[in-house]
Homo-oligomer: A and B are copies of this chain.
Amino acid sequence: MKAFVMEAIGETGFTDKDKPEPGPTDAILRPTKGLVCTSDVHTVHGAIGEREALTLGHEIVGVVEEVGTDVDSFEPGDRVAVGAITPDWGSDAAQDDHPSQSNGALGGWKFANVKDGTFAEYVHVNEADANMAHIPDDVSDEEAAYTTDMMSTGFMGAEHADIPIGGTVAVFAQGPVGLMATKGAALQGAGQILAVESVPKRQELAERYGATAIVDFEEHDPVERIHELTDGRGVDAAIEALGSSTTLEQCVAATKPGGTISNVGYHGEGEYVNIPREAWGVGMAEKDIVTGLCPGGRLRLRRLLRLLEEDVVDPTPMTTHEFAFDEIDEAFRLMETKEDGIIKPLIDFD
């Protein structure tokens, strides 16, 4: 079968691989729609080290091709979403309510990390009963593809932020995860949502997803501006959706004493991420810094799919480009350069 792989650091291309076989609790999917993630691009650039002929991708929906002997909930032909993160549900970490860390830090992240990813004609899914969900009839494949990572991760950013109903929140960066954090903040009842972003198209989407004001960091110092907009109090919570030490520092400084900094950004560079000592109240201002990795699992997916089914969320305005599977290298190229106003490229496998 055909697979789009990282051949080595900095090199990608199509290759031919054997079709995967399911173990007793596994399933094999045939992807129908997928989305390319910035983290795929990071991987190609060596963020997680050298890989050889590793199939890329972790955001897809598809049709069940084959199931293992112990799979109860799915059968061939079912239309399903599979989480970008596919935990081991019996692991210590899952028993401790941290399934995304199963069997080691970030251990639930298997696709295009410790096993082949999803950009291939067939995809192997571990613990299929627990890691996939049926897509409701009136939810499109495109919509459903957003549940696998963007909605799950972005919403988690808002859930971790512990926003009180009517509270104030700043969301730093309005890429697709940041946009879904903005929508997530609205879904947590925030009263004031400040979207920190300088790109007009992203500002526009942020407002669509519930931002009550835009903080353009090219026009204002974002920390000062957030204090102005909150009568000098600082926000109840700040969400870091970029993955930069500077942004995390700004989050700490923009948050009130007793508030929460919720990190969803992937911090790819440097030895340290810095906490600004004074703004952090010398370690005593009760500004907690919390982090998370995309939640996976059937239950999470089903809940996110329900929000699509009931039209509470529409993620499709984030799809700025569309490519056939054959053209996926062009999608990767655009995600790298961020040119042409790209937010998310949709991949069509049919």
Contact = CB atoms under 8 A, between A and B. Distances in A.
Contact of A275 (B191, B192, B274): B274
Contacts of A93: 257-258
A281 B253 CA distance: 23
B271 A280 contact: no
A280 B291 contact: yes
A306 to B, nearest CB: 4
Contact of A167 (B95, B104, B270, B303): B303
A286 B276 contact: no
Interface string A282-301: 11111111111100011110
Given A104-B257, A105-B257, A274-B274, A291 B299 contact: no
A4 B179 CA distance: 51
Interface in A161-189: 164-168, 184, 187-189
A276 B307 CA distance: 32
Contacts of A312: 189, 191
A106 B285 contact: yes
Interface stretch (A28-36, A260-268, A329-337, A340-348): A260-268
B304 A166 contact: yes
A130 interface: yes
Contacts of A129: 90
Interface in A54-106: 70, 89-101, 104-106
A146 interface: no
Nearest to A164: B303
A141 interface: no
Nearest to A213: B310
Interface in A99-148: 99-101, 104-107, 127, 129-130
A243 interface: yes
A319 interface: no
Contacts of A263: 283-284
A325 interface: no
Contact of A293 (B100, B268, B273, B286): B286
A209 interface: no
A350 B271 CA distance: 54
B290 A288 contact: yes
A20 interface: no
A159 interface: yes
B283 A266 contact: yes
B191 A189 contact: no
A267 B94 CA distance: 31
* Top 5 closest pairs, chain A to chain B, by CB: A166-B303, A98-B258, A90-B130, A187-B189, A191-B306
29 contacts: A24-B24, A24-B70, A90-B90, A95-B99, A95-B130, A95-B297, A95-B298, A95-B300, A96-B164, A96-B299, A101-B258, A106-B284, A155-B165, A155-B189, A166-B304, A167-B303, A191-B312, A192-B306, A212-B310, A243-B282, A263-B284, A265-B283, A272-B275, A272-B276, A272-B277, A273-B277, A284-B291, A285-B291, A286-B293
